Amino acid sequence: MNLKRTATFGVVGGALAVWLASAATSNRTLRPPIIVPPSPIDSRGAALAEEVARLHERLRPTATPNQPSRNLFSFRSAPARALPPPAAPPPAIVEAPAPQPAQPSLKLAGIAEDDGPNGPARTAIIAGDGQLFMVKEGDAVTLRYRVAKISADVVELTDLTDNSVRRLALK
C-alpha cells in the first residue's frame, strides 16, 4: 500500500503542477510594443548634445604646454638682473610758497539802519564760523577781519594779515 499511495501522490502532484503552469502562461501571441517616435524637441536636444560634445572635444588641448619659465607657486626671489644706467637727475625741487590760510566762510545776513544826527548808522549782521556777528564800522569780525565800510547792501572787510579787502553782498 505504500507504493500505491506514493504513486498516487506523485501523479496527482504532477497533474497539479502542469495545471498551474498552464494557467500561468498564455498561448496568445504578443503584439510588438508600441514605439513612440521622438518629438521634434527631443531630436533638437539630441543634436544639441552632439554639438556640445564636438565642441568639448575641440576645446581640449592637443599639445602639452611648454615648461613655464617661472613657477607661480614658488616664493623665491628671481636672479638679480643688471640695472639700466640711471637717467638724468630729476630737476631740483622748488619750494612752494607758503599756503594762504583758508578764508572763513562769512555771509552777510542783513543790514540794520538807524537814523542818526550824522546820517544813517548801519549795523551789519554777518554769519560765519557758527556764530552771528552784529558789527559796526571799525569792529572786528573773527580775529582776522575788521569792518572798513558798511553801505546799503555791501560790507567791506579788511584782512588784518595782508590788508586785502573782502566784500560781502546781500543776496
**pLDDT digits 0-9 by tens, 50-90:** 999 998 888 877 777 676 666 777 776 666 666 777 777 77
Q: Read off the pLDDT of each residue in 122-142 and give the average, rounded to a whole number.
A: 91
In a domain, 83, yes or no: no
Write the DSSP string, 30-44. PPPPPPPPPPHHHHH
In a domain, 14, yes or no: no
In a domain, 2, yes or no: no
Domain that holds residue 113: 106-169
Q: Which residues pair with 141 in a beta bridge?
A: 145
Residues 6+ apart with CB under 8 A from 150: 111, 122, 123, 124, 136, 137, 156
- As for how many domains the chain has, the answer is 1
pLDDT for residue 1:
67
pTM over 0.75: no
In a domain, 156, yes or no: yes
pLDDT for residue 32:
87
Among the listed residues 144, 103, 147, the one whose alpha carbon sits nearest the alpha carbon of residue 125: 147
In a domain, 128, yes or no: yes
> Is the distance from CB of 147 to CB of 138 less than 8 angstroms?
yes
